[in-house]
């Protein structure tokens, strides 16, 4: 059963500008692993914008309650390249309260825009 669906888009240049203007913003939005590729290189801005969009989409799929911490949701990359959501803390508590047993995420970026869709399944 689908409990919720969320979608979000982020303009990549605007997101980049916001990160540059606001020191420490990346640390408030992302856990350390999200900032780096498995190769050890810093993740590109399009990829970070897509991950930000995924966190927004996740909140929407849960009904957009207040009090969720950005770093309580992490977008992991499986060896196949497929993105996967991992939740803890405030996000896990909210999902559990709603009866969410699985989360599905899809990321994309093209033509200066990053997007994400999240489906919360019960």
Residues 6+ apart with CB under 8 A from 99: 3, 122
Kind plus residue range of the DSSP H or E element containing 89: helix 89-98
Say if residue 121 carries a ligand binding annotation. no
* Count of C-beta atoms within a 10 Å radius of residue 64: 12
Q: Rounded to the nearest 5 degrees, what angle is found at the Cα of 85, between the Cα atoms of 84 and 91?
A: 175
Q: Rounded to the nearest 5 degrees, what angle is found at the Cα of 95, between the Cα atoms of 94 and 97?
A: 65
Say if residue 110 carries a ligand binding annotation. no
Sequence ranges of the binding site for Mg(2+): 8, 56
Sequence ranges of the binding site: 8, 56
């Amino acid at each position: 059963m689908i409990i919720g669906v969320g979608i979000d888009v982020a303009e990549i240049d605007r997101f980049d500008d916001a990160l540059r203007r606001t020191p420490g913003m990346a640390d408030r939005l992302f856990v350390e692993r999200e900032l780096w590729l498995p190769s050890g290189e810093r993740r590109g801005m399009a990829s970070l914008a897509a991950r930000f969009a995924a966190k927004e989409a996740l909140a929407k799929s849960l009904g957009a309650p207040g009090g969720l911490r950005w770093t309580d949701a992490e977008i992991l990359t499986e060896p196949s390249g497929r993105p996967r959501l991992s939740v803890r803390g405030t996000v896990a508590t909210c999902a559990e309260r709603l009866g969410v047993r699985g989360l599905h995420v899809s990321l994309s970026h093209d033509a200066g825009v990053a997007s994400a869709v999240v489906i919360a399944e019960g």
